[in-house]
Amino acid sequence: GQEAFQWFYEGRHGWWEYDPRANADLEAAFLAGESKAELLIAGCLYLIDLHGMMQYNKNDPGKRRTVKRDRVGVACKGVAGIRPA
């Protein structure tokens, strides 16, 4: 079927959706079979390990977050730090 997928990163007690542009970049890299993607998010460079399913802050790789690819519409905290109104 035509399932749609969304990428999420870990917050405190829940998941945040990546913003639409970052999500599109991650999905394209994933579908191309790439092992990693680099994203510039709010002036910060992040490495996303698409096999290990982990996001690393390139300025401080100790700052890492679990990521997941899940169905569009699953429960989450909001989009890229913005909670629903």
Question: Which residues of the chain form contacts with ligand V3L (CB under 6 A)?
Answer: 9, 11-12, 16, 18, 41-42, 44, 57, 63, 65, 77, 80-81
Count the alpha carbons within 13 Å of 17 in the hemisphere toward its beta carbon: 19
CB 80 within 8 A of CB 16: yes
Q: Closer to ligand V3L by CB, 69 or 77: give it.
A: 77
At its nearest, how many Å lie between ligand V3L and the CB of residue 17?
9
At its nearest, how many Å lie between ligand V3L and the CB of residue 48?
8
Report the distance separating Cα 83 and Cα 76, nearest Å.
Answer: 9
